[in-house]
């Protein structure tokens, strides 16, 4: 008993030493060199501009604001990237087990190709498309109102930012309405539904679009001065980063989905066909829900990977959190503090992603085991 | 340790990036546990070499030549330091650093001196924990644009995309300049200098901003340098100076006087070629300088012939300047401010005695 306690005590002491001894030396060494420590630099004026930001930012705002811009950019890329990668992965996974020879071969080629080339190279390649292949901005011509040049891609869009918000609201309310109407009209016959529904929703949707275009001015991008003005602009850095992350992670997710589908017993397919379900119905109602159980944990790992890989942005000049933290590190010299911040942010985002996935996983498994 | 980087050689960039992250971790560990406080001079003597932080390749200042040995104005000040300590100029180990890594590398003791076209300013001299030595090149920030864009002044750059390197004073000056002149711009920043330049030359940006000497240096690398113009405006003061870390006054003094000696030699008319002809001189200043009358060496903790060795092996300021950035180099830069005070510049060394 005493032996056990002693061992535990020593163990705790050892762990404590691992944490505190380096911290002690760190503090001492930094003190001796008169390097300032602490986080008060955060309130100082940053003084540098950031190429793209979702929230408002100016060079006379503080370092904390600049870093926040980075956090928002990172989360934006991660959310959008994960969503698109999931869709791409599902598509690839399902198509790669298709009976169509061409389709399944294409998918397996894609999966192997993108999974086996380092992401950084893919990013450089995609970025190279913009700088080497697309025309210079002054020589670019709009195609269907879209301008693609070495300054990025600009699409026609509303001039006011509120238009995007109202468009999003329209989309959400439309989907909500579908559910409500569906519930309310449960006993209407299917043929009736098939004709009436699309007409109803198309009318509703276009009415809203019409209203939005009335209120907000629709703009076509055009080359003015040095750059493309008007419309919605996506920088080469953003597009190559997002595309790179989606294509790469999508391949991994595709492989996971494929293995998830194959993990479901063949009998399930046969039983489902025997009951008269079509192939799509079988996949949607029988196979995918069961394969999710197998696929979810590795898929979570891919979501985490994408989030962390977004820090490669620094190589192609997209201002993500690491990029802005690097700049801050160099302007202020606060390397230790900023590395701690970077570690903290990625730890936080990774733990939240895996936390959410764990909840879903638990619910899924729980429901099945009961 | 010599790592060269090309934009097209992406696999090398990959290594650089990984190495970069590793380096950061190692640096943090070094700060954490390293024993930094042995006198630098003793450490350097024991190792038999000076670890000198240089750029990743800036022609004229620090760049490897076709044989892979480092050449340039910044490099020559490390060689001068080596000559002062060891009597020969080649006891230097060069550590190639990007703008990002340079200060942490110095703070952590990975390098003994930083001689890497670094701008002297208050923040860096204080809270970053480094001490700047005398300025070795007075520079100013400018813009380079494509000739066919017909831009004649930096005032025409409203709305332009401007490429620059991340974490430099250039990034801050640019923001200040556009803000003061109420103009808008889009910064495009990269971690490495090569990527910045490639982005500009391939048309991602309308202008490239850096120190004017740096712009001239990049332009010489091109096949068609005449297609680019450097705008007349100088938007900032960029005094480029080497640096050492806080806390070792002797080391700081040695490097400081090596730089002053290089300038003083030009003023005294001593060059690497004629220095031996002064062995019988009666000029007290020169006798003191080349160690015929003793004292300087003892004060610094060096050999009495330290300044003789510096000039004999590396040369005076004029020789160094002309060799790397001046009239005998492809850059062909004007001396400008980097002229002796007697000749209308601002180079001025306190008496070496």
Q: What chain B residue is nearest to A228 in terms of C-alpha separation?
A: B159
The CATH number covering residue A262 comes to 1.10.3720.10
Are B175 and A49 an interchain contact pair (Cβ–Cβ within 8 Å)?
A: yes
What is the residue-averaged pLDDT of chain A? 85
Query: Among A62-71, A97-106, A149-158, B326-335, which is the least confidently predicted range?
Result: A149-158
Enumerate residues 171 to 200 of chain A having a beta carbon within 8 A of any beta carbon in chain B: none
Q: What is the pLDDT of residues A210-237, one digit of tens each?
A: 777 777 777 788 887 788 877 788 899 9
- What is the domain range of residue A13? 2-35
| Residue scoring higher pLDDT (B114 or A24) | B114
Are A317 and B11 an interchain contact pair (Cβ–Cβ within 8 Å)?
A: no
Q: Which of B103, B178, B185 sits opposite A330 (nearest CB)?
A: B103
Question: Within an 8 Å CB–CB cutoff, is residue A18 touching chain B?
Answer: no
Q: What is the pLDDT of residues A168-184, one digit of tens each?
A: 787 787 778 777 777 77
Are B31 and A32 an interchain contact pair (Cβ–Cβ within 8 Å)?
A: no
How does residue A189 score in pLDDT terms, banded at 50, 70 and 90? low
Q: Which of B99, B178, B185 sits opposite A330 (nearest CB)?
A: B99
Question: pLDDT value at position B175?
Answer: 92
Which residue, among A20, A21, A26, A29, would best test binding to B if mutated, counting the most B CBs under 10 Å from its CB?
A: A29
Domain B10-137 class, CATH top level: alpha beta
Distance CA A188, CA A175 (A): 20
Are B107 and A35 an interchain contact pair (Cβ–Cβ within 8 Å)?
A: yes
Q: Is residue A288 part of a domain?
A: yes
The predicted model gives A23-28 an average pLDDT of: 80
- pLDDT exceeds 90 at position A240: yes
Q: Are residues A265 and A326 in the same domain?
A: yes
Q: Which of A23, A226, A334 sits opposite B160 (nearest CB)?
A: A226
Q: Is residue A146 part of a domain?
A: no
Q: Are residues A164 and A276 in the same domain?
A: no
Q: Tell me the chain B residues in contact with residue A331 when contact means C-beta distances shorter than 8 Å.
A: 123, 167, 171-172
pLDDT by residue for chain B (353 residues), tens digit each? 344 434 333 344 444 455 555 555 555 555 544 444 568 999 999 999 999 999 988 889 999 998 989 999 999 999 999 999 999 999 999 999 988 788 889 988 899 999 999 999 998 898 888 999 999 999 999 999 999 888 899 999 998 999 999 888 899 999 999 999 999 898 999 888 888 988 899 888 999 999 999 999 889 888 888 999 999 999 999 999 999 998 899 999 999 999 999 999 999 999 999 999 998 899 999 999 999 998 999 999 999 999 999 999 999 999 999 999 999 999 889 898 999 999 999 999 999 98
Question: pLDDT value at position B15?
Answer: 46
Question: pLDDT value at position B140?
Answer: 93
Q: Are residues A194 and A331 in the same domain?
A: no
Question: Within an 8 Å CB–CB cutoff, is residue B209 touching chain A?
Answer: no
Q: What is the pLDDT of residues A126-164, one digit of tens each?
A: 998 888 888 887 777 788 888 888 888 888 877 766 777
Q: What chain B residue is nearest to A29 in terms of C-alpha separation?
A: B31
Q: Is residue A231 part of a domain?
A: no
Are A331 and B123 an interchain contact pair (Cβ–Cβ within 8 Å)?
A: yes
Are A333 and B17 an interchain contact pair (Cβ–Cβ within 8 Å)?
A: no
Question: pLDDT value at position B353?
Answer: 86
Question: pLDDT value at position A211?
Answer: 73
Pick the CATH number of B139-239 from 3.40.50.300, 3.40.50.150, 3.40.190.10, 1.20.120.140: 3.40.190.10
Burial of B117 (0-12, 13-18, 19+ CB in 10 A): buried
pTM for this entry: 0.79
Q: For residue B149, give both structure tokens.
A: 């864009």
Q: Are residues A110 and A251 in the same domain?
A: yes
Enumerate residues 60 to 79 of chain B having a beta carbon within 8 A of any beta carbon in chain A: none
- Give ranges for CATH 3.40.190.10 in chain B: 10-137, 139-239
Q: Are residues A15 and A91 in the same domain?
A: no
Are A131 and B245 an interchain contact pair (Cβ–Cβ within 8 Å)?
A: no
Q: Is residue A25 part of a domain?
A: yes
Q: Which of A59, A237, A326 sits opposite B166 (nearest CB)?
A: A326
Q: Tell me the chain A residues in contact with residue B204 when contact means C-beta distances shorter than 8 Å.
A: 130-131, 150-151, 236
Half-sphere exposure of B220 (CA within 13 A, CB side): 16
| Residue scoring higher pLDDT (A323 or A31) | A323
Q: Tell me the chain B residues in contact with residue A329 when contact means C-beta distances shorter than 8 Å.
A: 100, 104, 167
Question: What is the percent of chain A with per-residue pLDDT over 90, rounded to a whole number?
Answer: 35
Are A226 and B178 an interchain contact pair (Cβ–Cβ within 8 Å)?
A: no
Q: Are residues A164 and A92 in the same domain?
A: no
Question: pLDDT value at position B297?
Answer: 93
- Asked if B286 and B273 touch (Cβ cutoff 8 Å), the reply is no
Are B100 and A124 an interchain contact pair (Cβ–Cβ within 8 Å)?
A: no
Q: Tell me the chain B residues in contact with residue A316 when contact means C-beta distances shorter than 8 Å.
A: 190
Nearest CA-CA distance, residue B283 and chain A, Å: 42
- Asked if B187 and B226 touch (Cβ cutoff 8 Å), the reply is no
Question: Within an 8 Å CB–CB cutoff, is residue B128 touching chain A?
Answer: yes
Q: Which of B10, B172, B189 sits opposite A121 (nearest CB)?
A: B10
- Asked if B91 and B84 touch (Cβ cutoff 8 Å), the reply is no
Number of domains in chain A: 3
Question: pLDDT value at position B27?
Answer: 59
Q: How far is CA B211 from CA B140, B141, B239, in A?
A: 5, 4, 10
Question: Within an 8 Å CB–CB cutoff, is residue A318 touching chain B?
Answer: no
Q: For residue A180, give both structure tokens.
A: 């409500």
| Residue scoring higher pLDDT (A196 or A25) | A25
Torsion (CA) B22, B25, B26, B27 in degrees, nearest 10: 120
Across the A:B interface, residue pairs with CB atoms under 8 Å apart total 158
Distance CA A310, CA A342 (A): 13
Question: pLDDT value at position A84?
Answer: 96
| Residue scoring higher pLDDT (A138 or A65) | A65
Q: What chain A residue is nearest to B184 in terms of C-alpha separation?
A: A49
Q: Which of A32, A41, A327 sits opposite B247 (nearest CB)?
A: A32
Q: Tell me the chain B residues in contact with residue A119 when contact means C-beta distances shorter than 8 Å.
A: none
Question: pLDDT value at position A193?
Answer: 66
Distance CA B296, CA B254 (A): 11
Q: Is residue A232 part of a domain?
A: no
- Asked if B66 and B85 touch (Cβ cutoff 8 Å), the reply is no
Q: Tell me the chain A residues in contact with residue B203 when contact means C-beta distances shorter than 8 Å.
A: 131, 136-137, 150
Distance CA B236, CA B242 (A): 19
Distance CA A247, CA A115 (A): 9
Q: Is residue A307 part of a domain?
A: yes
Q: Is residue A239 part of a domain?
A: no
Which residue, among A17, A33, A42, would best test binding to B if mutated, counting the most B CBs under 10 Å from its CB?
A: A33
Q: Are residues A250 and A292 in the same domain?
A: yes
Residue A20: CB atoms within 10 A of its CB come to 10
């Amino acid at each position: 008993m005493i032996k056990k306690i002693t061992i535990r005590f020593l163990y705790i002491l050892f762990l404590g030493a691992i944490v505190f001894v380096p911290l002690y030396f760190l503090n001492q060494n930094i003190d001796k060199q008169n390097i300032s420590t602490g986080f008060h630099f955060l309130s100082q004026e940053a003084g540098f501009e950031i190429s793209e930001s979702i929230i408002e930012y100016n060079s006379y705002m503080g370092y904390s604001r600049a870093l926040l811009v980075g956090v928002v950019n990172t989360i934006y890329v991660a959310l959008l990237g994960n969503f698109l990668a999931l869709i791409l992965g599902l598509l690839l996974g399902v198509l790669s087990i298709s009976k169509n020879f061409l389709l399944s071969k294409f998918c397996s080629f894609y999966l192997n190709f993108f999974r086996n080339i380092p992401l950084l190279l893919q990013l450089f390649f995609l970025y190279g498309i913009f700088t080497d292949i697309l025309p210079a901005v002054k020589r670019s011509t709009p195609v269907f109102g879209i301008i693609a040049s070495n300054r990025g891609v600009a699409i026609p869009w509303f001039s006011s930012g509120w238009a995007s918000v109202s468009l999003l609201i329209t989309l959400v309310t439309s989907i909500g309405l579908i559910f409500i109407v569906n519930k309310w009209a449960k006993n209407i016959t299917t043929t009736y539904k098939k004709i009436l529904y699309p007409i109803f929703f198309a009318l509703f949707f276009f009415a809203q679009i019409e209203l939005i275009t009335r209120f907000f001015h629709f703009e076509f991008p055009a080359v003015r001065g040095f750059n493309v003005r008007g419309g919605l602009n996506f920088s080469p850095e953003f597009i190559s980063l997002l595309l790179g992350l989606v294509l790469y992670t999508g391949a991994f997710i595709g492989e996971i989905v494929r293995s998830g589908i194959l993990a479901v017993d063949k009998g399930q397919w046969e039983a489902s066909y025997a009951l008269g379900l079509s192939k799509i119905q079988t996949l949607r109602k029988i196979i995918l829900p069961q394969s999710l159980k197998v696929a979810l944990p590795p898929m979570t790992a891919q979501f985490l990977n994408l989030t962390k890989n977004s820090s490669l942005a620094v190589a192609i000049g997209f201002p993500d959190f690491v990029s802005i933290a690097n700049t801050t590190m160099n302007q202020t010299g606060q390397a230790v503090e900023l590395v701690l911040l970077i570690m903290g942010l990625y730890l936080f985002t990774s733990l939240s992603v895996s936390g959410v996935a764990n909840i879903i996983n638990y619910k899924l498994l729980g429901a099945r085991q009961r | 340790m010599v790592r060269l980087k090309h934009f097209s050689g992406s696999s090398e960039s990959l290594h650089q990036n990984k190495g970069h992250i590793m380096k950061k971790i190692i640096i943090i560990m070094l700060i954490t546990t390293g024993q930094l406080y042995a006198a630098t001079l003793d450490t350097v003597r024991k190792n038999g070499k000076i670890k000198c932080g240089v750029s990743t390749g800036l022609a004229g200042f620090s760049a490897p030549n076709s044989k892979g040995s480092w050449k340039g104005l910044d490099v020559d000040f490390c060689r001068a330091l080596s000559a002062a300590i060891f009597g020969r100029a080649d006891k230097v180990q060069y550590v190639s650093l990007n703008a990002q890594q340079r200060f942490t590398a110095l703070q952590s003791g990975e390098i003994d001196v930083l001689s890497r076209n670094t701008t002297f300013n208050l923040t860096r001299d204080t809270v970053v924990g480094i001490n700047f030595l005398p300025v070795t090149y007075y520079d100013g920030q400018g813009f380079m644009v494509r000739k066919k864009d017909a831009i004649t002044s930096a005032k025409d750059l409203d709305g332009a995309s401007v490429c620059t390197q991340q974490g430099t004073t250039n990034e801050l000056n640019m923001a200040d300049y556009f803000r003061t002149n109420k103009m808008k711009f889009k910064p495009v920043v990269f971690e490495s200098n090569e990527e910045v330049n490639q982005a500009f030359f391939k048309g991602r940006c309308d202008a490239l901003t850096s120190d004017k000497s740096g712009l001239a240096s990049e332009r010489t690398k091109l096949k068609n340098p005449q297609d680019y113009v450097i705008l007349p405006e100088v938007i900032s003061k960029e005094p480029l100076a080497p640096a050492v870390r806080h806390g070792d006054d002797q080391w700081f003094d040695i490097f400081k006087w090596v730089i002053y000696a290089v300038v003083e030699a030009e003023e005294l008319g001593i060059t690497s070629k004629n220095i031996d002809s002064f062995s019988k001189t009666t000029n007290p200043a020169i006798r003191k300088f080349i160690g015929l009358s003793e004292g300087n060496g003892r004060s610094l903790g060096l050999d009495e012939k330290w300044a003789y060795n510096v000039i004999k092996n590396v040369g005076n300021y004029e020789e160094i300047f002309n060799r790397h950035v001046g009239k005998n180099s492809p850059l062909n830069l004007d001396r400008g401010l980097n002229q002796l005070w007697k000749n209308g510049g601002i180079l001025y060394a306190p008496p070496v005695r």
